[in-house]
């Protein structure tokens, strides 16, 4: 295989992809997807199965009449009415193709077709000849080829080629093949058929999770076209994933010695569009276009990526149109990535405060599935910076109980290593907790304002509480954050009291009371 060998990409998202249970695209949605596929420079768009329904016929016709650039193909069984319908549907295309097929495996011929091998060969002869009389470009597929006898398959393909089929497709219809066997099988079929002028194609399903591997093995064996779908959509477990095939060939050009014509920077956008329109979400761990495809959480990985992206990324996110690499902060993250994120957010913390913030962050990771930048900002503001400015009293533990119309709270505070505990009742858990805090510290500030908001939208979001306290002519604000809104409220109140003591000291005002410690 030469270095400049080009593999054609035959996209069947709108035909085989739409056959996935639960997908039903209307013609306008199909057109929008087809237009994006054309912009991405796919070689062939299989727009549908015109004989399947009037709606499918109209969709194929609309795409053929509208979309410029790629070959527009319509699928057809070997029946004359199917072939005629496909020809009519693609007539308006700049380059139209009829893609006709019949099964060739013993099990399909016996139980589904109820035809002898000789009858199948004659069916192929008549179908391809008729299709070629209607259009210049005909593709023939031997359904379930991977479970067919090689000698018979070669005879069928020779018949199709001699009758005018320019593309011969070897499908692994039920995903039965494995890469080593399939590559050898494809090579044997090509050699046995002995028709040098045709384009050899493969169409692999993913029942055993090897559709992409089988497709690439076939390319190595001489296939010049790969049939695939965006996001790997299709019957049962789906088809070979277009984005994985394309990026496999591109990233390992040194191994396969070939390339495609696709503008890979559009892969991410097309994947997102197809996901939205079909209602089939892209798994986060999906290769190339999954949300985690360029995300790193492990500390070792994050450190490597920060030093040189190529340490853990074999593709650039920009090459597939992805937003970029993401360092996901989680319990596996290291200090290097944590410090960078904090600095990117505009905070300048000492090494001591970074260590303290990191410890709080790890605790938060055990309580929250995803820690966002907003969560991190709230934590640093309420726990680290507030502590740096005014920490005196620290919340150690609390317990609240709620009944009809009242609440009780037991709170333990610490000051300089000494602890004090008290309990109180109130008209709710927050009011009860505030009363307990006041009993411990020995002052009664007025709560002028109290508010709490969700920092993010998820159910495990951090709640950020804010209070305004007034006492002895002093007015301060307090802030606290936690995934527990009661805890956030208590922390905000204690933060306000700490600020009162700090302000009193700075202004030379003496606050009387027991005070912790």
What is the Cα–Cα distance from 246 to 261, expressed in whole angstroms?
A: 9
**Rounded distance between C-alpha atoms, residue 135 and residue 92, angstroms:** 11
Alpha-helix residue ranges (DSSP H) falling in 74-166: 80-90, 106-108, 117-134, 150-162
Rounded CA separation 279/194 (Å): 44
Six-digit token string for 75: 């699928």
Cβ atoms of residues 459 and 487 within 8 Å: no
β-bridge partners, 168: 140, 200
Is residue 415 a known part of a binding site?
A: no
How far from the centroid of its chain's Cα atoms is residue 474's Cα?
A: 52
Q: Is 301 annotated as a binding residue?
A: no
Backbone angles phi, psi at 202, to 5 degrees: -130, 150
Q: Is 144 marked as a binding-site residue?
A: no
Asked if 375 and 462 touch (Cβ cutoff 8 Å), the reply is yes
List the one residue out of 181, 180, 109, 97 whose CA is nearest residue 144.
109
Neighbours of 311 (CB within 10 A): 13
The backbone torsions φ and ψ at residue 303, rounded to the nearest 5 degrees and listed phi first, read -65, -40
* Rg of the chain over all Cα atoms, to the nearest angstrom: 33
To the question of whether residue 431 is assigned a binding role by annotation, the answer is: no
How many angstroms separate the CA atoms of 386 and 401, rounded?
28
Residue 351 falls in which region: left (phi positive, over 0), alpha (psi -120 to 50) or beta = alpha
Q: Find tokens 């411990």 and name the residue.
A: 440
Q: How is 397-409 classified by DSSP, letter by letter? A: EEEEEEETTEEEE
Task: Please tell me the distance from the alpha carbon of residue 318 to that of residue 321, in angstroms, as a whole number.
Answer: 5
What span, in angstroms and rounded, lies between the C-alpha atoms of 104 and 116?
A: 10
List alpha helices for 165-321, DSSP H: 179-193, 211-221, 242-251, 253-256, 267-278, 299-307
Give CA–CA dist 364/379, Å, rounded. 9
Known binding-site positions for Mn(2+): 16, 203, 205, 239
Known binding-site positions: 16, 203, 205, 239
């Amino acid at each position: 295989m030469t270095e400049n060998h080009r593999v054609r990409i035959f996209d069947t998202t709108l035909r085989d992809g739409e056959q996935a249970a639960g997908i039903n695209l209307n013609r306008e949605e199909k057109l929008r997807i087809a237009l994006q596929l054309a912009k991405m420079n796919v070689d062939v768009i299989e727009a549908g199965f015109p004989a399947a329904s009037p709606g499918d016929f109209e969709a194929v016709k609309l795409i053929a009449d509208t979309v410029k650039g790629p070959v527009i193909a319509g699928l057809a069984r070997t029946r004359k009415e199917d072939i005629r319908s496909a020809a009519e549907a693609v007539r308006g295309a700049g380059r139209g193709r009829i893609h006709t097929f019949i099964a060739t495996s013993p099990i399909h011929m016996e139980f589904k077709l109820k035809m002898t091998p000789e009858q199948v060969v004659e069916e192929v002869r008549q179908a391809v000849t008729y299709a070629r009389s209607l259009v210049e470009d005909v593709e023939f597929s031997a359904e379930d080829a991977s479970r067919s006898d090689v000698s018979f398959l070669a005879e069928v393909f020779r018949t199709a080629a001699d009758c005018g089929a320019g593309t011969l497709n070897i499908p692994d219809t039920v995903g039965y093949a494995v890469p080593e066997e399939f590559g050898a099988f494809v090579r044997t079929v090509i050699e046995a058929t002995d028709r040098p002028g045709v384009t050899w194609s493969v169409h692999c399903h993913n029942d055993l999770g090897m559709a992409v591997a089988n497709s690439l093995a076939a390319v190595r064996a001489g296939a010049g076209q790969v049939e695939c779908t965006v996001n790997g959509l299709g019957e049962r477990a789906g088809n070979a994933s277009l984005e994985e095939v394309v990026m496999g060939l591109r990233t390992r050009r040194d191994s396969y010695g070939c390339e495609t014509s696709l503008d890979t920077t559009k892969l991410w956008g097309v994947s997102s569009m197809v996901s939205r329109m079909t209602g089939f979400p892209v798994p986060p761990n999906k290769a190339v276009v999954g949300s985690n495809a360029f995300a790193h959480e492990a500390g070792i990985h994050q450190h490597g990526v920060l030093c040189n992206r190529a340490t853990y990324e074999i593709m650039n996110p920009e090459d597939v149109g992805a937003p970029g690499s993401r360092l996901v902060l989680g319990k596996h993250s290291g200090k290097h990535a944590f410090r960078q994120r904090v600095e990117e957010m505009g905070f300048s913390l000492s090494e001591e405060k970074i260590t303290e913030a990191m410890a709080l962050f790890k605790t938060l990771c055990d309580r929250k599935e995803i820690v966002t930048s907003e969560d991190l900002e709230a934590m640093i503001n309420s726990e680290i910076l507030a502590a740096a400015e005014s920490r005196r009293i620290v919340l150690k533990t609390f317990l609240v109980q709620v009944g009809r119309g009242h609440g009780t709270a037991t709170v333990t505070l610490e000051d300089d290593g000494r602890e004090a505990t008290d309990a109180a009742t109130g008209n709710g858990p927050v009011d009860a907790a505030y009363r307990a805090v006041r009993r411990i510290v020995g002052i009664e500030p007025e709560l002028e304002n109290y508010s709490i908001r969700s920092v993010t939208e998820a159910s495990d979001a951090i709640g950020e509480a804010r209070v305004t306290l007034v006492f002895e002519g002093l007015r301060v604000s307090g802030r606290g954050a936690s995934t527990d809104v009661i805890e956030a409220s208590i922390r905000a109140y204690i933060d306000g009291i700490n600020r009162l003591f700090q302000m009193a000291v700075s202004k030379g005002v003496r606050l009387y009371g027991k005070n912790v410690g």
